[in-house]
Amino acid sequence: MKLRLLLLTLLMTATASSLRAESEFVVPEGFEAKVLEPTGGRVARPDGWFYRTAHNESSFQWVLSKEDPERGPYQTGVRIQMIFGLQQKAGVSAKDFAHEFLAGKRAATKVLSECEEETEGLLVRSCLVVEEIIPSVSESDPFQVRYSVLWGAELDVAVFITAGTPKIFWSENEPIFDQIENLQLIDLERFAK
């Protein structure tokens, strides 16, 4: 029921042009379309990569990884997490929650680059690219990770897209991450019916 209310809110704030833009989704060669349930969005999954989901009452999570996550932590992959109800549950706006997350990453990691805030449809996006150690995977080999955060300017929703790989493999995986991040989060047409 909460998902339906969130999606109805998105529909009420969406313009006709954003509805059309949401329906255009191109999958390049070497990728296959994967539906992001329960939102109906779509993502381009690289051929041979693994896909899994984990949802609860306040968030949806989708993971695409080069390694099989059933066999332990993956080293190369993208996690997409959509969190809603932040104001009610955490007492902060989605924007403040996203800003606090980025500030924490800035303080705890080596920042390689960052992007300015930019409006993308109904959401605002910012990002950090960092170098960090991920103890669950390796105690000594650095990873390069891009944290992209999006939040609803008028909506109580935040999206975190985490794309990472061992630093030595970043240049070969960055174009794959870019393609995955060119996702359609919600199929607005599905819920407009």
Over 50: is that where the pLDDT of 30 sits?
yes
Which positions ≥6 away from 130 have C-beta within 8 Å? Answer: 105, 109, 110, 111, 112, 144, 145, 146, 147
Please give the tally of structural domains in the chain: 1
pTM of the model: 0.86
Classify residue 107 by its DSSP letter: H
- Block residue for tokens 């080596």: 110
Query: What pLDDT does residue 12 have?
Result: 38
Mind listing the pLDDT tens digit for each residue in 47-106? Answer: 999 999 998 888 999 999 999 988 988 999 999 999 988 888 889 999 999 999 999 999
Query: What pLDDT does residue 191 have?
Result: 67
User: Which has more confidence, 15 or 106?
Assistant: 106
Give dist(CA 88, CA 111) in Å, integer: 31
Domain of 113, CATH number, reads 3.40.1000.10
pLDDT band at residue 4 using 50, 70 and 90 as cut-offs: very low
Query: What pLDDT does residue 138 have?
Result: 75
Contact status, residue 43 vs residue 180, Cβ threshold 8 Å: yes
Average pLDDT for 166-171:
97
- 54 beta partners: 61
Instruction: Give me the domain span that covers residue 137.
Output: 2-192
Query: What pLDDT does residue 6 have?
Result: 53
Query: What pLDDT does residue 192 have?
Result: 67
Give dist(CA 26, CA 52) in Å, integer: 21
Contact status, residue 162 vs residue 147, Cβ threshold 8 Å: yes
Region of residue 121 (left: phi > 0; alpha: psi -120 to 50; beta: else): left
Mind listing the pLDDT tens digit for each residue in 115-155? Answer: 999 988 778 999 999 999 887 777 788 999 999 999 987 78
Expressed in angstroms, the distance from the first to the final Cα of the chain is 17
Q: Backbone phi, then psi, for 47, in 5-degree steps?
A: -55, 135
- Block residue for tokens 């997350």: 101
